[in-house]
Structure 1
Amino acid sequence: MKLGSKKLYITFVLIILVLMTACQAIGGIDLNKALLDNSTVTSGEGKQSISWELELDPSAELDAAQQEQLNRFKSGSIVLDHYKVQDQATASVKGAVTLAGKSIPFELYTDKEQLSLKVDGSRKLLTMPLGESGELGLGGLEQDKAFRDEVVTTLIRNLPNPKNTSFQLGHKAVIQGEEVELTRISTEIKGTDLHEVLFETAGNLLNDEANIQQLLEKMLISAEEEALSAEEAAEEAASMMQEFHSFMTEFKADLENDDQLVYKMLNNRNNLFKLQLGIDSSLRIREAKAELYYRIPKIPGEVNLPVRAVRMIMSSEMSQQNMPVTADVPSDAQPTMDLDSLDKPRTFIASLDTKSALYDVLKNDLNLMDRKSEFYITDTDLSRPSHTYNAFGQPYVKMNSAQIGARNLASQMDYTMVWDATRHKLTIKDNGRYIQLKLGSKTATANGKAIVLPYPPHVINNLIYIPVKPVTQALNTDLYLENNQEYGTVIQLSITE
């Protein structure tokens, strides 16, 4: 089986699990209609949570650092204590993320113009402009209710009925302070049942290819960007259906073959999926709970994960669906920082309250302040007249000294570099330490002291090259050289903070 097929298989299985309970009317509740009605909700409020736990494989061969990292992050959660959806473009969320046993509260607000994120420990409000559309990924097909209904109906029609399904009438619940009476529907799918369900679903979808192709044509015609004509859409849909047919045929065949990976992944009696829905008299889903336990199979001849199983628990409560709801707008009095700053973790971490849980997790648990980089020496002398390679400042050896492009080194190690074009001087700084070099001179100044370089800074292909060892030593950077049979000499640099 190809790697791409494996990913598609997993996606297909997840979709089936989510939709499994909406196959028929149960206990007088038409789940098909309930699901369709809830797909049209454009406002509301509630709360949600998701937690995860990894069961580690005690036989996994890990070093002490790897084992410690896994133990820290083997469990966690995301809790949305209160979310408000005002419309398709405006919403607010208050909640917390728990990582490495530490809770990090946050508040989020988004409208048509901007997304704003306030995280406990950050002295600034993180913002990101949303451009012209500004909507929460909703638009185009999301505005076409008839099309959405048709898609959901097609999916539900091809799902077999779950075996272990029960219902409870007149269940009393308090949702967001409101006492409601719900019909509670529960289903449970074990690993051995899932294998049978997926096999039947694959067969049903193969028998419904004509309807699925029509849906694809409608989607291609009504797409907001690069919409196709009816003739083009028909041709493209036919091509997509050929791939769909091949995928589903292969998937169905693999389910019958106990030597195939997909069979081993799914036909495990330890796997379990539970889902519970609470539906009110207006066919609104007011509460939902789900639990997934997946045992990861060991594949002979493959590099197996150090994780034996994954457990996920999800829950949600919803109220005020399609009723007037006002999102909580954050105060605009505090300074802001663009979310693009997260591309440089050290800059962001340096702006945090050092006593906050966020700072502790990012710096001490995830070690994001630490820096590591590798450079491969691919030639012994790039300054030869015949050599036109090395447009990115990769290292080479000159007079037994490794030379590297200054900008490449500064970028990879997150140093600060200042070029004085008038005096031909280059200054590289980091954490209060510095080295100052002059083009063509073997004399440099490192943290106030004069040093002699093995070879002077020089220019190749319009790039300034500098000697690696004295520069990294001046900036308190650990350097290690490794001889790799495939890649030659590897320069390994690291800074631990």
Structure 2
Amino acid sequence: MTWEGTNIKMYKKFKWLTVLIAAVLVVMTGCQAVGGLDINKAMLTSLDVKSSESSASIRFEVVPADKALSSEDKEAIDLINSLSLHIDHAIVEDSNTVSIQGSVHYSDKKVPLHLSMDAKGMAIQLDGAKQPFYLSMDTTVPGMPDTSQYEQAIQDVVKKAAGLVLKHFPNPSKVSVKPVQEKVNGESLNLTHLHMELTGEEILNMVKPFAESLLKDEAGLKQVIGDAYDAIYPMMTSIGEAYGEDIELLPQESKEEVVASLYEMVHGALTEFTENYDEQKEQLLEELPGSETVFGKDTILKLDYYFDEQLNTRKNALELTVALPASEDLPLKAFKVYSEGEVWNIGGAVKANKVDTSKGVLDVLNESVTPGQVLRNFEKDSLIYNVLKDDLKITQKSMYLNISNEDFGYGAIKKNHQSFVPLRYLADQLDAEVKWTKGSNKMIVINDLTGEEIVVTVGSKKASVGGKSVTLPEAPFVHSNGSTYVPLRFMAEALGATLHLEGDGWISVERD
């Protein structure tokens, strides 16, 4: 088989996996009216972003295989089974403004966290952190118009598209509705309890009927496509005007022509999908080892929703068991996820509890942020400091250098029986920052782990580490290629690394 043929085959395989995963997500929300409850309407109501307060929890469990386990496997399984997330108090102020306060639990440890998000970005305050971590969400491009005014229209289209999907998705075999009385945030409420249950096998069998039903709804498909056109066209017009006439962002056809064209594309894709589904499903089960187990009767999804009279979701629970195929390399036979939550004060006047960023933040999306900066942002006696350093080993580095009399721009060279290395190359490998004092031969190297300054001068054996004077075995020098070379052992150890002779002219540089 040619390389191109192999890639086409892989594409088809992953395309079907994507379809199946999407089907799982849709099944979690889509079915018809049962017991007087309009489930579609209830699910669509949950898509409306309203102010609210809530709490939730999620935990994980792996079920070991029926065979002897190594101590490492047992340790890993115990760790996963101890992992959970607890959201003690979440506040939704509006569609852009949210805060969450809670904790992550694992083993016998608890890590408190506080998260807040607005239109500009997300701030996360972790226990022991000197500054909160920040993830910017500002996608503003200089010269581009503000498109926020179009967001609501696009959200409405998404809701309409979801409604079309829900309309055509069949019921699971196990679905029930009954009135119950439940407590939400300590208040006893009369609610409607919806319970749904289905297997991995059923998920596969529901996909084709859904696609066939959707295929027959020409009016519904065209309506959603037209609504999408109405929502997106004004935004693209605004962007096009900002760029000028040289950029063609908009179709030249009329709305009717665009809708007709896109409908034919969607209709064709759905037709091909339904016609080939059975064959492709069998091929998927044959070609992906273990998929018959994952999509079998032992993979079970259980969902519980509790609605009030306005069809707001007030409580919810999920239990997902994914059966795993027997394997010598995988000591597990199932993976489980449990979650539950409750919501109150829906539509009330609430205010998100924002993370305090007045003393600065650490922007983790900034490419210049190093592992050492992340570690130094935590107090040394904090739990997360030890997790990052000892368990996750985020500062661990390993590299090899070949010693020769030649210069390759990245290897070590010998001079006066002393090994030298290009300063910037070694510094880059160990995440150190190099500053050259303009108008002098002095260079300042900042240790990523400690923040200490290492000062060296070309042509001088005098140097300093963290303010303490040291004498080098040989002076740094500028090579004929323009690179500055420094004594290898001195600089590596000053940056927290150790050297090991590997033989045949090779040296390993390692940092824990």
Q: Report the TM-score when normalising by structure 1.
A: 0.77
Residues 360 and 477 (structure 1), Cα distance of their counterparts in 2 relative to 1, 3 Å cut: closer
The DSSP-based 3-state class of the residue aligned with 1:25 is coil
2:337 is matched with 312
User: CA contact under 8 A between 2:177 and 2:195: conserved in structure 1?
Assistant: yes
The DSSP-based 3-state class of the residue aligned with 1:94 is strand
Superposition deviation, residue 162 in structure 1 = 0.5
Quote the sequence identity (%): 23
1:358 is matched with 384
CA distance in 1, matches of 2:411, 2:274: 49
Please state if 1:104 is matched with 2:120.
Answer: no
1:272 is matched with 300
Residues 490 and 86 (structure 1), Cα distance of their counterparts in 2 relative to 1, 3 Å cut: farther
CA distance in 2, matches of 1:401, 1:252: 70
User: CA contact under 8 A between 1:446 and 1:474: conserved in structure 2?
Assistant: no
Alignment match of 1:27 (pick from 35, 38, 46)? 35
Alignment match of 2:251 (pick from 229, 254, 273)? 229
Please state if 1:327 is matched with 2:349.
Answer: no
Deviations 1:404-438 (A, max 9, x none): 54223213313353434444233445449876544
2:165 is matched with 155
72-81 vs 19-28, which deviates more? 72-81
Residues 157 and 261 (structure 1), Cα distance of their counterparts in 2 relative to 1, 3 Å cut: farther
Superposition deviation, residue 152 in structure 1 = 1.4
1:84 is matched with 91
Alignment match of 2:24 (pick from 17, 21, 33)? 17
154-163 vs 11-20, which deviates more? 11-20
Q: What amino acid sits opposite 2:191 in the alignment? A: L
Alignment match of 1:52 (pick from 51, 54, 60)? 60
Q: Any unmatched runs of 5+ in structure 1?
A: 384-392
Residues 355 and 444 (structure 1), Cα distance of their counterparts in 2 relative to 1, 3 Å cut: closer
Q: Any unmatched runs of 5+ in structure 2?
A: 1-7, 141-146, 240-248
Q: What amino acid sits opposite 1:321 in the alignment? A: I
Deviations 1:312-349 (A, max 9, x none): 112121223233323234567x6332333883343233
Alignment match of 1:337 (pick from 338, 361, 386)? 361
Superposition deviation, residue 196 in structure 1 = 1.9
2:195 is matched with 186
Residues 182 and 142 (structure 1), Cα distance of their counterparts in 2 relative to 1, 3 Å cut: same
Alignment match of 1:413 (pick from 425, 430, 439)? 430
Residues 458 and 221 (structure 1), Cα distance of their counterparts in 2 relative to 1, 3 Å cut: farther
User: CA contact under 8 A between 2:413 and 2:419: conserved in structure 1?
Assistant: yes
Superposition deviation, residue 242 in structure 1 = 6.5
Q: What amino acid sits opposite 1:337 in the alignment? A: V
Please state if 1:478 is matched with 2:494.
Answer: no
User: CA contact under 8 A between 2:154 and 2:228: conserved in structure 1?
Assistant: no
The DSSP-based 3-state class of the residue aligned with 1:16 is helix
Residues 240 and 191 (structure 1), Cα distance of their counterparts in 2 relative to 1, 3 Å cut: closer
User: CA contact under 8 A between 1:48 and 1:317: conserved in structure 2?
Assistant: yes
CA distance in 2, matches of 1:420, 1:347: 23
CA distance in 2, matches of 1:153, 1:401: 73
Alpha-carbon RMSD across the aligned residues, in angstroms, is: 4.3
User: CA contact under 8 A between 2:403 and 2:413: conserved in structure 1?
Assistant: no
Please state if 1:287 is matched with 2:298.
Answer: no
CA distance in 1, matches of 2:405, 2:49: 65
Q: What amino acid sits opposite 1:31 in the alignment? A: I
User: CA contact under 8 A between 1:435 and 1:444: conserved in structure 2?
Assistant: no
User: CA contact under 8 A between 2:473 and 2:487: conserved in structure 1?
Assistant: no
Residues 194 and 209 (structure 1), Cα distance of their counterparts in 2 relative to 1, 3 Å cut: same
Superposition deviation, residue 493 in structure 1 = 3.1
Deviations 1:356-399 (A, max 9, x none): 3333332333233x32143576998446xxxxxxxxx5436567
Taking the TM superposition and a 5 Å limit, the aligned residue runs for 1:96-175 are: 96-112=103-119, 115-127=122-134, 130-131=137-138, 140=150, 142-144=152-154, 146-169=156-179, 171-175=180-184
Q: Report the TM-score when normalising by structure 2.
A: 0.75
2:396 is matched with 371
Number of aligned residues: 471
Superposition deviation, residue 31 in structure 1 = 0.5
The DSSP-based 3-state class of the residue aligned with 2:207 is helix
Superposition deviation, residue 474 in structure 1 = 4.6
Superposition deviation, residue 293 in structure 1 = 1.2
Residues 6 and 426 (structure 1), Cα distance of their counterparts in 2 relative to 1, 3 Å cut: farther
Please state if 1:347 is matched with 2:368.
Answer: no
The DSSP-based 3-state class of the residue aligned with 1:293 is strand
CA distance in 2, matches of 1:378, 1:244: 62
1:426 is matched with 443
Superposition deviation, residue 24 in structure 1 = 0.7
User: CA contact under 8 A between 1:53 and 1:310: conserved in structure 2?
Assistant: yes
Superposition deviation, residue 403 in structure 1 = 5.8
1:493 is matched with 509
The DSSP-based 3-state class of the residue aligned with 1:292 is strand
Superposition deviation, residue 310 in structure 1 = 1.9
Superposition deviation, residue 153 in structure 1 = 2.2
The DSSP-based 3-state class of the residue aligned with 1:336 is coil
1:41 is matched with 49
Superposition deviation, residue 480 in structure 1 = 4.8
Taking the TM superposition and a 5 Å limit, the aligned residue runs for 1:238-249 are: none
Q: What amino acid sits opposite 2:92 in the alignment? A: V
